[in-house]
Chain A
Amino acid sequence: MIKDITIGQFFPGDSILHRLDARMKLVLTFAVIVIVFVCKSFFSMGLMVAFVLFLVAVSRVPVKTILKSLKPIVFIVIFTAVLNIFYTTGGWSVQIWIFKITEKGLFTALFMAVRIICLIIVSSLLTYTTTPTRLTDALERLLSPLKIFKIEVHTIAMMMTLALRFIPTLIEEIDRIMSAQKARGADWESGSLVSRSKALIPVLIPLFVSSFRRAYELAFAMECRCYRGGKGRTRMKIMKLELRDFAALLAAAALLAGIILLNIFFKSVI
């Protein structure tokens, strides 16, 4: 039923990853993704992969779910790998029919594939262990220093929260409008592309009209509760860094150190 839609991929749980401060998670996810591209040797890449697997285990998100997040990118991975095989040259080579496959090409392709997969898993873990609400909150707090450049951080965050709040409601509404127009014979399944696009008008117009009205009423309701923008606002939920957040930071730093060391002491493969 449409009502069961949950936004994002949040997988409820109580693991340490779930309990980390959302700001730290956001920053560390970004950092780890950068670190993924720092790996140059087999050993450093090996450490990276071990780290990612460690994160997956700690998150207690089922492996099946993680694999689901990789499904959409299988094609991209293969495509990138193939491209790299044929367009990167160096080291020994092998001739198969009209294709020339080089050592460097093979390794680059492999590294690219592993990098993309690590990247996807790490960012998925972020959304699996953090609710969209917490993410928006974290983003707002992290970006708040931008206020000095006159960027309306609070307003942007408020818009994001409202969007998250209303997406399920709007989906329900679209469903309702579509059913009502279907009951009058609207048809989106047969006919030319043009006629099917035209058949969207009876859905889009009522949706827009009701959305404007909704926004108008919402604005009033917010003002009636003394909303005046971000000025003078406090927050009920305070984000505080705990010991475990510093531990995570340390772990990421150790990862970076380890990878750099492994890069130095072992042959760079790509």
Chain B
Amino acid sequence: MPVISTRSLTYLYSKGTPFEVAAIKDINIDIDSGELVGIIGHTGSGKSTLIQHLNGILKPEQGTVLLEGKDIWESKASIREARFKVGLCFQYPEYQLFEETVYKDIAFGPKNMKLDEDEIDRRVHRAAEFVGLKEEHLQKSPFDLSGGEKRRAAIAGVMAMEPKVLILDEPTAGLDPHGRDRILRLIKEYRSNTGSTVLFVSHSMEDIADLVSKVLVLENSRVAMFGTVEEVYSKREELLKMGLNVPQVTRIFAGLRERGLHINTNIFTVEQGRQELLRFFGKGADL
């Protein structure tokens, strides 16, 4: 059974006014437990709206959201449960920090879950460790941290709820390459350590290729594609029509194939590219 699914999920903005527009329309997806899914699409394609339905922040106009088979809107209790079982981290999460100390801020979620002190303490420390924050950071005011540290503290705040499904909305937005790499590594490690399902929204086809098992492409409020990286990225023409592009390496190999080289074009990362070319040039790579 998939850990989270949607059935005919639809949401309208400005309902009943002349400005009514479908933010998402008839979305049907199934996410299996333990998957790492990348969500891609233009601004306005419905990404943010979709993920805000998964933890019950937004209520569907039509359709259902199922968490472990149950409709999250069944009762007040089930919504509350969804809130904590599906952890949503918004864009620029550092702007939500407010407590006196980083420790207290990370503890905010677990506290709202009404856990006892020891359990909260354990979770805060575990989350802090995941994001690479040390004891001295925990005692500081969140406003005294650097930009990158603030972001990691905010992510820790969501991780501390130990959700079954962790969703991150553009976790690398506004970060420089070093910061971005750090966050992506963090996501990878978190998932392999906890076995949680992770969804993350990104604008970068390159970032996603290296990391995820499945890719969900949204276009014009609907699901355009949902499959493995190979399945999605090989549809170059379609992606281009949507104004999305495949990674540079993929384009390079497509170009080589067009020029007549009998070369594998299922290449999505630089490392894959290198291996394939070494094989092709007969240099016998260390596979």
Answer whether residue B75 sits at the interface, using C-beta atoms and an 8 A cutoff: no
Q: Is B280 an interface residue (CB 8 A)?
A: no
Pick the interface stretch among A52-60, A182-190, A227-235, A240-248.
Answer: A182-190
Q: Which of A1, A182, A209 contacts B57 (CB 8 A)?
A: A182
The total of Cβ contacts below 8 Å across the A-B interface reads 60
| A202 interface residue per 8 A CB criterion | yes
Known: A184-B158, A201-B98. A1 touches B90 (CB 8 A): no
Task: Mark each residue of chain B from 145 to 181: 1 if its CB lies under 8 Å from any CB of chain A, else 0.
Answer: 0000000000001100100000000000000000000
**A268: CB under 8 A from chain B?**
no
Q: Mark A154-187, 1 if CB is under 8 A from B, else 0.
A: 0000000000000000000000110111111111
Contacts of B52 in A (CB 8 A): 179
Interface size grouping (class) on chain A? 10 to 19
Residues of B within 8 A of A187 (CB): 112
Residue of B nearest to A209 (CB): B143
Which of A182, A184, A205 is most buried by chain B, counting CB atoms within 10 A of its CB? Answer: A184
A183 touches B83 (CB 8 A): yes
Chain B, Cβ-Cβ closest to A183: B88
Nearest-neighbour CB distance to chain A for B275, whole angstroms, equals 41
Q: For the complex, give the distance between the alpha carbons of A187 and B113 in Å.
A: 11
Question: Is there a chain A Cβ closer than 8 Å to B38's Cβ?
Answer: no
A185-B14 CB under 8 A given contacts A176-B90, A179-B57, A210-B95: no
Instruction: Name B108's contact: one of A4, A176, A179, A184 (CB within 8 Å).
Output: A184
A13 on interface, CB distance cutoff 8 Å? no
B87 proximity list for chain A (CB < 8 A): 183
Report B65 CB to chain A, min CB distance, Å. 14
The answer to whether A183 and B158 have CB atoms under 8 Å apart is yes
> In the complex, A181 Cα to B87 Cα: how many Å?
11
B19 interface residue, CB < 8 Å from A? yes
Is the CB of A206 closer than 8 A to any CB of chain B? yes
A180-B93 contact, Cβ under 8 Å, with A1-B14, A4-B14: yes
B120 interface residue (CB < 8 Å to A): no
Contact B96 A177 (CB under 8 A): yes
Give the interface SS of chain A, mostly helix, strand, loop or mixed.
Answer: helix
Contact across chains for B19 and A1 when beta carbons are under 8 A apart: yes
Interface range for B: 20 to 34
Alpha-carbon gap, A182 to B87, bound state (A): 11
Q: How far is the CA of A209 from the CA of B150 in the complex (A)?
A: 14
Q: Which residues of B contact A201 (CB under 8 A)?
A: 98
Residues of A contacting B13 in the complex (Cβ-Cβ under 8 angstroms)? 1
Contact between B90 and A179, CB atoms less than 8 A apart = yes
Chain A CB within 8 A of B55 CB: yes
Chain A residue, CB-CB nearest to B86: A183
Within the complex, what minimum Cβ distance (angstroms) separates A52 from chain B? 30
Given contacts A1-B19, A187-B112, contact A182 B83 (CB under 8 A): yes
A189 to B: closest C-beta gap in Å? 10
Considering the complex, give the chain A residue whose CB is closest to the CB of B167. Answer: A183
Q: Are B109 and A185 in contact (CB under 8 A)?
A: yes
User: Once the chains are docked, how many angstroms separate the CA of A4 from the CA of B12?
Assistant: 14
**Quick check: is B37 within 8 A (CB to CB) of the other chain?**
no
Chain B residue, CB-CB nearest to A2: B13
**Which residue from B17, B89, B112 sits with its C-beta under 8 Å from A185?**
B112
**Alpha-carbon distance A206/B84, docked complex (angstroms):** 22
Query: Contacts A1-B19, A180-B90, A209-B143 hold; do A185 and B113 have CB atoms under 8 A apart?
Result: yes
CB distance from A174 to the nearest CB of B (A): 11
Cβ-neighbour of A206 out of B17, B19, B95, B109 (below 8 A): B95
In the complex, the answer to whether B143 meets A184 with C-beta atoms within 8 Å is no
Distance in angstroms from A104 CB to nearest chain B CB is 48
When each residue 83-127 of chain B gets 1 if its CB lies under 8 Å from chain A and 0 otherwise, what string results?
Answer: 110011110010111100000000011011100000000000000
Q: Are the C-beta atoms of A183 and B108 separated by less than 8 Å? A: no
Give the complex CA separation of A132 and B161 in angstroms.
Answer: 45
Query: Is A181 touching B19 in the complex (CB atoms < 8 A)?
Result: no
Chain B: CB-nearest residue to A182: B57
How close is A45's CB to chain B, nearest CB, in angstroms? 39
Is A206 in contact with B98, judged by CB distance below 8 angstroms? Answer: yes
Q: What are 29 of the A-B contact pairs (CB < 8 Å)? A: A4-B19, A176-B95, A177-B96, A179-B57, A181-B96, A181-B108, A183-B55, A183-B57, A183-B87, A183-B90, A183-B158, A184-B96, A184-B108, A184-B112, A184-B157, A185-B80, A185-B84, A185-B108, A185-B111, A185-B112, A185-B113, A185-B161, A187-B112, A201-B98, A202-B108, A206-B95, A206-B96, A209-B98, A209-B143
Residues in B lying within 8 Å of A, measured CB to CB: 13-14, 17, 19, 52, 55, 57, 80, 83-84, 87-90, 93, 95-98, 108-109, 111-113, 143, 157-158, 161
Q: A183-B55, A206-B98 are in contact. List 18 more A-B contacts (CB 8 A).
A: A4-B14, A176-B95, A177-B95, A177-B96, A180-B96, A181-B96, A183-B89, A184-B108, A184-B112, A184-B157, A184-B158, A185-B80, A185-B84, A185-B111, A187-B112, A202-B96, A202-B98, A209-B143
- The chain A residues found within 8 Å of chain B, CB to CB, are 1, 4, 176-177, 179-187, 201-202, 205-206, 209-210
